[in-house]
Copies of this chain bind each other. A is one copy, B any other.
Amino acid sequence: MMRTRPLKVALLGCGVVGSEVARIMTTHADDLAARIGAPVELAGVAVRRPSKVREGIDAGLVTTDATALVKRGDIDVVVEVIGGIEPARSLITAAFEHGASVVSANKALLAQDGAALHAAAGEHGKDLYYEAAVAGAIPLIRPLRESLAGDKVNRVLGIVNGTTNFILDKMDSTGAGYQEALDEATALGYAEADPTADVEGFDAAAKAAILAGIAFHTRVRLDDVYREGMTEVTAADFRSAKEMGCTIKLLAICERSEDGASVTARVHPAMIPLTHPLASVRGAYNAVFVESDAAGQLMFYGPGAGGSPTASAVLGDLVAVCRNRLNGATGPGESAYADLTVSPMGEVVTRYHISLDVADKPGVLAQVATVFAEHGVSIDTVRQQGKDGEASLVVVTHRASDASLTGTVEALRKLDTVRGVASIMRVEGE
């Protein structure tokens, strides 16, 4: 049953993702029409530089006036792939007001203003879909929102930033330092000229906020996500990790507390056992573990970025939103009914690997062990190594709260016999 009036799509942004969306809409028009039940038509493309030649896109569709495009009134779906907060937010809001549903790939905006955007979509009876905002082509939002809708998710643990995974993988496999690995990532196009959003964990933190919100049916703001970048991970940390049978990954971790009453979300580098499936995620790939009551452990793996993979996710959403429109229905909106407490980092419970530079004399280990005990942090293993009157002490703890660990480290720094805290790294995935 094919409807002949085409659904009209406005594309906002025509960079690496947008141009690929436009290309597939053209080359696979028949497939999309068959899957949706009606043809879809590119009705307008808003760009910043209209003079740039865009192969396969009718020049008559190109405009610099994105606002006029979303307000035309005949647009069924607005696809937003410009990124950033403004003008994306105003354009999406205007789209809902003027009768369109929205497909977005904008993690920063969704993480910051997801609740308001969902409210606007709901008010106007429109869809807001954003599979492409997290982990590129990997179906993750839809499995969490729909496939696991009858289950209770307890943890989401994943590698959600390809740039940093490329850098850490390079450091792991070659022994390179951070700067050297970053330089290679930049040269190969895996890192942007200003890599801050990736290497400082801002990108992963936005994704963690989105994932935690969906997984726990609770609003999780970007500010709720603890964030620690990976710029201070050293070649020495990788050597320590290897001694532990681990590697180091930048992880996004969203967890329900053991009593179920609260949740946490965080992004930081962590040691993870080589036997864990996330340890073997190479290059710029992404992978996300989801643990739930009934399903157990699921893993989703694939390319986390890039024009084509992101376009695949955008187009999957586009098909869904178009089908909903033909049905006169909408898909699942925001689900925040559980409204759980979002706890600060201090309440996170995990294990720690701590390297201390200490004086090489009798009694040091006893002193250090006493500090751990006083703060309620139980020690799993200690390794002591002497060198010329100095020694290093590597302590791996049992599970303890981040607050206890912070207190322990503050007290350790005050000991005369502790010359310095060389590194502290969390140990995950056990």
Total number of A residues with any Cβ neighbor in B under 8 Å: 58
Q: Are B280 and A318 in contact (CB under 8 A)?
A: no
Q: Which of A30-38, A93-101, A154-162, A390-398 contacts B (4 or more CB under 8 A)?
A: A30-38
Q: For chain A residues 117-150, which have a beta carbon within 8 Å of chain B? A: 131, 137-139, 142-143, 146-150
Whether A53 sits at the interface, judged by CB under 8 Å, is no
A186–chain B nearest beta-carbon distance, Å: 22
- Quick one: copies of this chain in the complex? 2
Whether A175 sits at the interface, judged by CB under 8 Å, is no
Q: Are A146 and B295 in contact (CB under 8 A)?
A: no
Q: Are B32 and A316 in contact (CB under 8 A)?
A: no
Whether A48 sits at the interface, judged by CB under 8 Å, is no
Complex Cα distance, B33 from A338, in Å, reads 12
Q: Are A319 and B35 in contact (CB under 8 A)?
A: no
Q: Are B323 and A332 in contact (CB under 8 A)?
A: yes
Q: Are B296 and A303 in contact (CB under 8 A)?
A: yes
A25–chain B nearest beta-carbon distance, Å: 8
Whether A268 sits at the interface, judged by CB under 8 Å, is no
Choose among B298, B302, B312 the residue that contacts A139 (Cβ–Cβ < 8 A).
Answer: B298
Q: With A295-B308, A295-B309, A308-B295 as given contacts, are A217 and B137 in contact (CB-CB < 8 Å)?
A: no
Whether A315 sits at the interface, judged by CB under 8 Å, is yes
Complex Cα distance, B148 from A131, in Å, reads 11
Q: For chain A residues 204-218, which have a beta carbon within 8 Å of chain B? A: 217
Q: Are B301 and A295 in contact (CB under 8 A)?
A: no
Q: With A150-B32, A328-B328, A335-B34 as given contacts, are A138 and B298 in contact (CB-CB < 8 Å)?
A: yes
Q: Are A147 and B337 in contact (CB under 8 A)?
A: no
Whether A371 sits at the interface, judged by CB under 8 Å, is no
Q: For chain A residues 259-297, which have a beta carbon within 8 Å of chain B? A: 277, 280, 292-297
Complex Cα distance, B309 from A292, in Å, reads 9
Q: With A280-B277, A295-B137, A299-B300 as given contacts, are A146 and B320 in contact (CB-CB < 8 Å)?
A: yes
Whether A311 sits at the interface, judged by CB under 8 Å, is yes
- For A146, A280, A324, the residue with the greatest tally of chain B CB atoms inside 10 Å of its CB is A146
Complex Cα distance, B320 from A16, in Å, reads 33
Q: Are A294 and B149 in contact (CB under 8 A)?
A: no
Q: Are A302 and B296 in contact (CB under 8 A)?
A: yes
A41–chain B nearest beta-carbon distance, Å: 15
Q: Which residues of B contact A28 (CB under 8 A)?
A: 150, 152
Whether A104 sits at the interface, judged by CB under 8 Å, is no
Choose among B32, B292, B308, B330 the residue that contacts A296 (Cβ–Cβ < 8 A).
Answer: B308
Whether A78 sits at the interface, judged by CB under 8 Å, is no
Whether A57 sits at the interface, judged by CB under 8 Å, is no
Choose among B138, B318, B323, B337 the residue that contacts A34 (Cβ–Cβ < 8 A).
Answer: B337
Complex Cα distance, B324 from A335, in Å, reads 16
Q: Which residues of B contact A329 (CB under 8 A)?
A: 324, 327-329
Whether A76 sits at the interface, judged by CB under 8 Å, is no
A31–chain B nearest beta-carbon distance, Å: 7
Complex Cα distance, B150 from A324, in Å, reads 15
A219–chain B nearest beta-carbon distance, Å: 14
Q: Which residues of B contact A306 (CB under 8 A)?
A: 296
Q: Are B327 and A311 in contact (CB under 8 A)?
A: no
28 CB contacts below 8 A, A to B, read A24-B151, A24-B294, A28-B150, A31-B152, A31-B217, A34-B335, A35-B217, A35-B337, A139-B142, A139-B143, A142-B143, A142-B146, A143-B143, A146-B316, A146-B320, A148-B312, A148-B316, A149-B315, A149-B319, A151-B312, A277-B301, A280-B280, A295-B302, A295-B308, A296-B306, A299-B300, A327-B327, A327-B330
A residues neighboring B (CB under 8 Å): 20, 24, 28, 31-32, 34-35, 131, 137-139, 142-143, 146-152, 217, 277, 280, 292-303, 306, 308-309, 311-320, 323-324, 327-330, 332, 335, 337-338
5 closest pairs, A vs B, by CB?
A150-B315, A139-B147, A137-B295, A294-B312, A329-B329
